[in-house]
Structure 1
Amino acid sequence: MKQEEFNEIFRNRTKILALQVITLLGELKCSDALGIIRKQLIRSITSTAANFRAVCRARSERESFAKLCIVVEEADESLFWIEMITEAGFISKEKMTGCYKEAKEILKVMAVYKKKLHK
């Protein structure tokens, strides 16, 4: 697979995941605790997508690697917040299963990509 094709696929996947999470969380009733978790999850999932776009537009390999480090960190944080929001009972695990699986796969792919760039 060419780099441009890989970039396009993951630009779309990260953006679609962010939109799915925003839509699911928008359906929930508000409370103080939920508001904090919702804000953190939306922030981390959208940051994953935005920073991957930055990876694709990086001016150097060092800049690309730095942004990719952020992508991996934010993707991992997104998994944490998905776990928190489901384990706290604000949304069912069944509703978040697809988002969790996709976030986990994105994290795995980006971690491997990061290792590849670091060599």
Structure 2
Amino acid sequence: MDKTELKRRSQKFAVDIIRFTGNLPNSRELNVLCNQVIRSATSVGANYRAACKGKSTADFINKIVICEEEADECIYWLDLMIEADLVRPTVMAQLRNEANELTAIFTAIGKTAKENQKLKNQNK
């Protein structure tokens, strides 16, 4: 997957979360959880875009790690909605799957970038 496709995919994920939460009933509990999942979901794409414009390899890695953390955080908020019986698991299965895939993608990117940086530093 190239960076343009990952930018598009992470932005689509944010839009899907926004639409999903917009269709949920209004309650104090859901409002809090929706705000949190929207923040983390939108942060994934925003930080990936920033990573692509990174000023250094260290800056890139730092932002990729944030993407990984934010995608994983989305899973947490979605799981809380399920565990609190606020949303049926089947309703959000696709969103949880995408959050898991994005977490794995950013974990792999971060690992590769760290390994490449280590090799680069060893060859100096």
**TM norm structure 1:** 0.92
Structure 2 residue aligned with 1:56, among 46, 52, 73? 52
**CA deviation profile, 1:7-45 (whole Å, cap 9, x unmatched):** 111111111011111101101111111111111000001
Identity of aligned residues (%): 30
2:90 matches 1:94: yes
2:34 matches 1:38: yes
Q: Which runs of 4+ in 1 moved over 2 A?
A: none
C-alpha distance in 1 between matches for 2:35 and 2:73:
12
Q: Counterpart of 2:2 in 1: which secondary structure?
A: helix
Q: Give the C-alpha shift of residue 92 in structure 1.
A: 1.6
- Structure 2: 5+ residue runs without aligned partners? 116-124
C-alpha distance in 1 between matches for 2:20 and 2:31:
14
Which residue does 1:20 correspond to in 2? 16
Q: Give the C-alpha shift of residue 84 in structure 1.
A: 0.8
Q: Which has the larger radius of gyration?
A: 2
2:67 matches 1:75: no
Which residue does 2:105 correspond to in 1? 109
Q: Counterpart of 1:82 in 2: which secondary structure?
A: helix
**TM norm structure 2:** 0.88
The residue type equivalent to 1:21 in the other structure is I
Number of equivalenced pairs: 115
CA RMSD of aligned residues (A): 1.1
The residue type equivalent to 1:47 in the other structure is S
The residue type equivalent to 1:19 in the other structure is V
- Structure 1: 5+ residue runs without aligned partners? none
